[in-house]
Structure 1
Amino acid sequence: MNPLYHRTQFLLSTLEFARDVPDTGFEVAFVGRSNVGKSSAINAITNQKALARASKTPGRTQQLVFFQVDAQRRLVDLPGYGFAKASGQAQERWRKALEDYFQHRKCLKGVFLLMDIRHPLTAIDRLMIEWCHRLQRPLHVLLTKADKLNYGPAKNTLLKVQQSLGLSCQLFSATQKLGIDSAHAMLDRWFEIE
C-alpha cells in the first residue's frame, strides 16, 4: 500500500479542463456507469471517507472532478454514464467534454474502468472499452461491489471478464477494502512511481 495516495486532496470540478488544469504531469481517470461505485473506490484507494462525494442518487458527478495526489499526479473522477437525469443539452456537454478529454489529454496515463461485478460488460461498457482501445488509452478493470457475491461466483465472474476482454482486471470492494493494494500497484505503474 502506498501512503502517497492517502494525501490526495480535492483540486477542482470543471468541464473546461483544458483551460482550468494544465496538461502536464500524470493523470489517471475513473470511469464507469452511474452507481457503480467510482466515488467509493476513490475514497477507499485514498483511505479517506469523503474525498469524492458518494451519493445514493445516480449520476451526481456532472463534471470532471480532479484530485491532486502530488504536484505532478492527479486522479480524475469522470461523469458516470447510463443513469443521468439531466437535460439532453447537459448530457451533450458531458459527452463532448469526455470525448475531448480522452482524445486530447496528453497527461492521461491510464483509465480505471469500473463495472459492478453483478452486471459486468454492459453494451455501454463495451463501447467505452472499444473507445479506449481506439485511442490507445491503457485500461484496468475494477469489478466493484465484489463483497455482494460469495468468493466462488466473484472469482468466476473475474475469470469470464478477463477471458472476454483480454485486459487486466481485479476484484474490488470499497466497503471491505478488497483490492486496494492491486489498485495502488497499477497507479504506481501509470504514475511512474518506483
Structure 2
Amino acid sequence: MKITKAEFIKSATQPEHFPPADKPEVAFAGRSNVGKSSLINTLLNRKKLVKVSGRPGHTQLVNFFNINDQLYFVDLPGYGFAKVPKEVKDAWGPMIEGYLANRPNLTAMVCIMDVRRGVQEDDFELIHAAPHFGVQPILVFTKADKLNKQKKKQRRIDIANEFGVHKDDIILFSSLNRTGVDRVWRRIEELTGLGNG
C-alpha cells in the first residue's frame, strides 16, 4: 500500500472515547519492548509517528492512527515485563479486552514477538483469544536481522510447528532492513479487503 497519509488521531482507555468504527481496523499487540513501535513506523515509512522507547511499558493507552483515510492502525499497550506501577499494569488487561470486545470494525491483529525469544505464554493467550473476538491474528516475529539465514529458516519451521500452522503463516520482520514489510501489508490488505489500493 502506498502511504499518502498517516496521522495520530487520539489516545483512549474507554470504548466511549474510541473514534467512530467507520473504517477497517488493525491492532498491533505484543510484549513490552518487542519492537512494536518500530514495526508500525516501518510499515508506514515514518520515523517518529509512533514513539519508540527503550523503556518497556512506554505505551500505556490505546493509540489510534488514521492511515490514508481508509484504515485505522491501533497501538495497544505492551504486556509482560514492563517498568510501570502494578496498578497501571493491572489496568491493561481489562483495557485491551474492552477494546477487543467493542470494535466491530477490527478485522486483524498483528501479534508481534521477538524471533529470538519465541512465543511466551501471554503471546499464546492473546493469539488464542483473538478469534473469540472475531479477529484474525497475523503472526509477526521481529528482530529477524539478528539471525543468520539458516537460523531464520529453522526458527520459522520450529515456530510454525509450535502453533500448528504452515511456515508461510509465520512472518519474519526486521525494521532495520525492512524484511517482511511487503508480507505484513499483503496480509493486512487481504484481511481488511483493501486490496492493493
1:123 aligns with one of 121, 124, 140: 121
Give the corresponding residue for 1:173.
Answer: 174
Letter in 2 for 1:59: G
Letter in 2 for 1:18: E
Is the 2:14–2:98 contact (alpha carbons within 8 Å) kept by the matching residues of 1? no
Is the 1:117–1:157 contact (alpha carbons within 8 Å) kept by the matching residues of 2? yes
Residue range with higher mean Cα deviation, 49-58 or 165-174: 165-174
Residue range with higher mean Cα deviation, 85-94 or 140-149: 85-94
Is the 1:144–1:171 contact (alpha carbons within 8 Å) kept by the matching residues of 2? yes
Is the 1:143–1:172 contact (alpha carbons within 8 Å) kept by the matching residues of 2? yes
Q: TM-score, normalised by structure 2?
A: 0.91
Q: TM-score, normalised by structure 1?
A: 0.93
Task: Measure how far apart 1:59 and its partner are.
Answer: 0.9
Give the corresponding residue for 2:192.
Answer: 191
1:36 aligns with 2:37: no
**CA displacement, residues 98-150 of structure 1 (integer Å, 9 cap, x when unaligned):** 01111221111101000100011111111112211333320111110000010
Q: How many residues align?
A: 192
Task: Measure how far apart 1:88 and its partner are.
Answer: 2.7
Give the corresponding residue for 1:26.
Answer: 24
**Matched residue SS, 2:67:** strand
Structure 1 stretches of 4+ with a deviation exceeding 4 A read none
What does 1:158-169 correspond to in 2, within 5 Å?
158-167=156-165, 168-169=169-170
Give the corresponding residue for 2:99.
Answer: 101
Task: Measure how far apart 1:17 and its partner are.
Answer: 4.1
Counterpart Cα distance in 2 of 1:136 and 1:20: 18
What does 1:2-151 correspond to in 2, within 5 Å?
2-4=1-3, 7-151=5-149
Counterpart Cα distance in 1 of 2:185 and 2:192: 10
Is the 2:141–2:170 contact (alpha carbons within 8 Å) kept by the matching residues of 1? yes
Counterpart Cα distance in 2 of 1:69 and 1:17: 20
Is the 1:24–1:106 contact (alpha carbons within 8 Å) kept by the matching residues of 2? no
Work out the percentage of aligned pairs sharing the same amino acid: 33
Letter in 2 for 1:133: P
The alignment yields a C-alpha RMSD, in angstroms, of 1.5
**Matched residue SS, 1:3:** coil
Task: Measure how far apart 1:12 and its partner are.
Answer: 1.4
Structure 1: 5+ residue stretches without partners: none
Structure 2: 5+ residue stretches without partners: none
**Matched residue SS, 2:84:** coil
Letter in 1 for 2:171: Q
